[in-house]
Amino acid sequence: MTHSSAASPRLIRIAAALLIGPDGRTLLVRKRGTQAFMQPGGKIEAHEQPVYALVRELEEELGLVINPAHAAYLGQFSAPAANEPGYVVQAELFQLTIDSQVSPAAEIEEVRWIDPATDGEITLAPLTRDLILPFYRASLIETA
């Protein structure tokens, strides 16, 4: 077993979704007892492929059943964790276009569709605010 230095941040590995609706808005979730909205998804279990963690989490949290073949891998993004001080969240990010109803379940208290050009006038997790939404905005400009 190796020990990390005290300066090394503790890492939380997650699979996250950039869920896009037919109107181009993106879906964000807020966990029960927290303030920040973030991408849906969750922790990757030991020996679990990120896309299958995403499939599992989307079904648990939103009742959304997806085909893993439809999840386009966008890359790895890291930022300070919104709800765990001293931790960094490392997200394997996938994009999915959906046209189905979702409803909060498990630890999700609220879902919100926002225009990606704005912050939706809500508190956003650092990963969403600083990396994922700017990444999505830039991709919209490139394809325009």
Tell me the β-bridge partners of 83: none
Asked if 132 and 114 touch (Cβ cutoff 8 Å), the reply is no
Query: Can you give the pLDDT at residue 118?
Result: 86
Percent share of the chain, pLDDT over 70: 92
**Can you tell me the distance from the alpha carbon of 83 to that of 101, in angstroms, rounded to the nearest whole number?**
27
pLDDT tens for 46-69 read 999 999 999 999 999 999 999 999
Kindly report the number of other CB atoms within 10 A of residue 96's CB atom.
19
Residue corresponding to tokens 């926002």? 114
Cα 38 to chain centroid distance, Å, stands at 6
The percentage of residues in the chain with a pLDDT greater than 90, rounded to a whole number, is 83
